[in-house]
Amino acid sequence: MRISCQWLSSLVELPNGASLDPSLVASVLTGVGLEVDAIEPTGAGVESILVGEIRKKEPHPEADRLTLVELFDGETIQSVVCGASNLPEVGGKVAFAPVGARLPGGMEIAPRKVRGAPSTGMICSEEELEIGGDGDGILVLPESWEAGRRLVDLVPEICDTILEIGVTPNRPDALGHVGVARDVAVKLDGRLTLPELGAADVPVSEELVSLEAGDRCGRYLGFVLGGVKVGKSPLWLRVRLHRLGLRAINNCVDITNYVLFEQGQPLHAFDRERLAEGRVVIRRATEGEPFAALDGSEHELGGEDLVIADAAIPQALAGVMGGARSMVDAESEEILLEAAWFAPSGVRASAGRRSIHSDSSYRFERGVDFGEGLDRAALRALKLFETLAGATCTAKAEALGELPRPPSIDLRLSRVHHVLGMPVGAREAERILRGLGVVVKSDGPIGSLHCTAPSHRPDIHREVDLIEELMRFHGLEDLPAEASVPSAPIVETVDPRATVRERLADALCEAGLHEHLAYSFTHPDKLRPFLGEGEAGRIVALSNPLRVPLSVMRTHLLPDLLDALEVNVARHPHAVRLFELGRVYAWAEERSGSAAPTFDPTRAAPVDQIDGLLPEEREQAAILLHGGDAEDGRSAVGVLVHALERLGYQVRVEAFAESKRIPYLHPGVQAAISIISGDTSACVGHVGELHPDIARERGLGDRAGIYVGVVELRALPALPVPVARERPRFPATSRDLSLEIPTVLPAAKVVDALITAAAGAAPDPSAGEDPAQLLGDGIAPGVEVVEDYRGRGVGEGRRALLLRLHYRAVGRTVTDGEIHKLHDVIVQGAIEALSGPELEVRIR
């Protein structure tokens, strides 16, 4: 909302006749919660513009469209070349920029020759002076104005300071200068001085207004104004509207706009001669009823749209916009002026449905004054119609519907102290509240003020709202900083899931990955390759996305990491090591159209009922590795294993059964990550090379080796407490084993087979209670995979796996002989277990 400091000053009388300068106004407004976003001085340079009188006009000999003008500037005659077609006749007055003047646009006026004719000064248009939007011709001034006078002395509105203020939705009263002035007056202990009003001492003409929808219109005032002379508004009015960002149209429209910005009350003027039977009916539209708005748009209305109709058709969408048909224009002679209060939610719904948002609907949906302020706005407009359009009020009517009842509130001064933590005295409280228009009586309980909220403050409902008013005007500068003491000990808890998440982030960071953070919404096409069985039907979509690439909630993190990879490879040649830790979203099951439950808006619904309606949100960690020195699938496995082990988990990496393979990973380069706790092992994620088809779809097809992995955080068990391990007291003895196996047989299976065989091997009876076992030495595990050899000496489709098996007993040194026997048993057992019809496993 733009506020004219000049206008505001005219509405406030300060103690001792002090004046309001713009910086004081700005600090006061910000201090009372009407935050000043910008201070804009206007009219710089226009001080030097004079009233010029045309003394002589003749065509330029060299140019058809130019005129040589002899112009009297109050002292001498100046020769000026002018290109405008609307130059007035001799004796007419224009805005003249003498030599030396600098126009607001920065142009400096200097003597010059135009097509050979000297020109000492310039005749200006509104646009050149930045006091109006009309740039087609020069600004023609009233003939009565004296040549040589400064324009700014005749129209002081030109040099004004405009404040751009942010008005929060609770303050419809501050959407007019009077409301803002009221705050300034209270803050500075001044007085609100209201502008001159007209009178409507005319007979009531009942048939003028019929209200058929009293639930949607609380009050409707109609005034018939006759003898209207539609024309251009005076310059001061046009300048003022221009400063506020409005276009001057004609005096009738300009008056309603002026009153809107002065009183905060939207008015509407109908050309009464174009209203069937010259009357209005406030009613709901019939279904499908057509309406042509004055902005040229056409609408088909519905039964919930409130209209101001004449005896036949809608002439305005109530509170939103007038109709094109009954719009006031140059021909209009009699108008019907409307001042009304429409129910805010109805206007809001109507404006929303029709997508028309006007200055009027903006105010009505916030709630305008239905009391004194409404009358005042109407009478103010009557005054202006009388003085600026020569109109006379000939008849009036008023209809009443349902109006809100201004609440009565007992304000306890002790409560003020209780909420703010500082006291506000009774007299100060009364001064502030009365200044705001609150009716204050001290007939309530002792220590409290009995208050009735004014009709222009729909935001005041209860005691705390009055406390806020006291805070606004008493000021927060003196608020002490005083900590209160808790009434009971506050028990702090730590969510274990949050601990897992933060520690995993640290561990992935420690593994040399950079954390990426992407938007939670993505393009549905990017999710597609990652969707599993039934997942497509569980995607959570937005109804009003900013754009398609941000239209669905992500079901996986990997698409975002691929986006980041694309960004990186396009910008630099270096390795990309990224992780993201965040939520993914999905409906728990495919959703169909059963009706959504409704809840009482004044109560918080039970959490479990709400949560039952929400989609599932799961936390995931995902990694992506590409490029760099030794990036292969095992580096990606290493990152995840490192990170999970860093959290204390016992991790297993195993091959997926063919039926459980992850479709978006390379079929031959993928593994499951499991965590062992106790006797059970649970899969918590997977890792592998991105499927080459997806890489190709993403335009990353020429880039080999994009390794990715995912961990589901909810699958992670509680963080284990570390347990000190045994340090073996006796050395282990190791035996190497070279097995030739098919390439497709995973090393993990070979290791498992050896461990299983060891567990099943019959203990050597001679070793008694402490047999030799396949046991790690405290650092290396019992079975170590040392080398994976393929090539010469090993057949096609086969590989040689070099393993090292460590043996020891707990309380003694083992002998070569017993290990020899045990090793043979274990190896034979494992080979038998591993071998199958298609699987030949043998010792090399």
Partner 1 sequence: MLDQLNAEQERFLAALPEIADEDALYQLQVTYIGKKGSITGLSKKLGKLTVDERKAFGAELNRVKKAVQAALDGRREELREAARARDLARVEDLTMPAKRPPRGSLHPIRIAQRALIDTFRRMGFDVAEGPHVEHANFNFDALNFQPDHPARDMQDTFVVDDRRGSEDLVLRTHTSPVQIRTMLGRTPPVRIIAPGTVFRCDDDATHSPMFHQIEGLYVDRGVTMADLKATMIQFTAAFFGRSLDIRLRPSYFPFVEPGAELDMQCPFCERAQGGTCSVCKGTGWIELGGSGMVHPAVLESVGVDPEVYTGWAFGFGIDRMAMLMYQIPDLRQMFDGDVRFLRSFSN
What backbone phi and psi angles, to 5 degrees, belong to 285? Answer: -70, 155
- Pick one of 421, 496, 778, 817: the residue that binds partner 1 (CB under 8 A): 421
Tell me how many residues contact partner 1 (CB under 8 A): 109
572 binds partner 1 (CB under 8 A): yes
- Strand pairing partners for 576? 626
400 binds partner 1 (CB under 8 A): no
CB of 830 to partner 1, least distance (A): 36
Q: Label residue 394 exposed, middle or buried (CB < 10 Å: 0-12, 13-18, 19+).
A: middle
204 binds partner 1 (CB under 8 A): no
From residue 325 to residue 354, what is the string marking binding to partner 1 with x (rule CB under 8 A)? Answer: -------------------xx--xx-----
- DSSP structural state of residue 487: S
CB of 163 to partner 1, least distance (A): 16
Q: List the interface residues with partner 1, window 94-123 (CB under 8 A).
A: none
Residues sharing a CB contact under 8 Å with residue 519, sequence separation 6 or more, in sequence order: 550, 560
Question: DSSP letter string over 384-436?
Answer: HHHHHH--EEEEEEEEE---PPPPEEEEEHHHHHHHHSS---HHHHHHHHHHT
Measure the CA–CA gap between 341 and 365, rounded to whole angstroms.
10
511 binds partner 1 (CB under 8 A): yes
535 binds partner 1 (CB under 8 A): no
445 binds partner 1 (CB under 8 A): no
492 binds partner 1 (CB under 8 A): yes
231 binds partner 1 (CB under 8 A): no
Cβ atoms 251, 230 nearer than 8 A: yes
270 binds partner 1 (CB under 8 A): no
Contact window for partner 1 (CB under 8 A) among 265-273, 504-512, 644-652, 787-795: 504-512
Among 792, 768, 787, 626, smallest CA distance to 706 is for 626
163 binds partner 1 (CB under 8 A): no
554 binds partner 1 (CB under 8 A): no
Q: List the interface residues with partner 1, window 785-824 (CB under 8 A).
A: none
From residue 34 to residue 73, what is the string marking binding to partner 1 with x (rule CB under 8 A)? Answer: -x--------------------------------------
Q: Are strands 191-192 and 12-13 parallel, antiparallel or unpaired?
A: antiparallel
What backbone phi and psi angles, to 5 degrees, belong to 274? Answer: -100, 5
711 binds partner 1 (CB under 8 A): no
Look up residue 322 and give its two tokens: 């007038």
**Torsion angle (degrees, nearest 10) of CA 308, 314, 319, 324:** -130
Contact window for partner 1 (CB under 8 A) among 48-56, 77-85, 254-262, 536-544: 536-544
- Strand pairing partners for 688? 670, 708
Residue 617: CB atoms within 10 Å: 13
- Pick one of 574, 660, 729, 844: the residue that binds partner 1 (CB under 8 A): 574
446 or 657, CB closer to partner 1?
A: 446
Contact window for partner 1 (CB under 8 A) among 443-451, 524-532, 566-574, 679-687: 566-574
Three-state SS for 330?
coil
- Pick one of 527, 540, 641, 826: the residue that binds partner 1 (CB under 8 A): 540
Q: How far is CA 210 from CA 213, 334, 367, 383, 397, in A?
A: 9, 19, 22, 25, 9
Cβ atoms 811, 770 nearer than 8 A: yes
- Strand pairing partners for 683? 674
CB of 660 to partner 1, least distance (A): 30
Three-state SS for 626?
strand
Measure the CA–CA gap between 205 and 398, rounded to whole angstroms.
9
From residue 353 to residue 372, what is the string marking binding to partner 1 with x (rule CB under 8 A)? Answer: ------------xx------
Look up residue 168 and give its two tokens: 């929060």
490 or 657, CB closer to partner 1?
A: 490
- Pick one of 405, 427, 571, 727: the residue that binds partner 1 (CB under 8 A): 571
Measure the CA–CA gap between 267 and 381, rounded to whole angstroms.
9
536 binds partner 1 (CB under 8 A): no
Q: List the interface residues with partner 1, window 464-483 (CB under 8 A).
A: 464-465, 467-468, 471-472, 476, 479-483
261 binds partner 1 (CB under 8 A): no
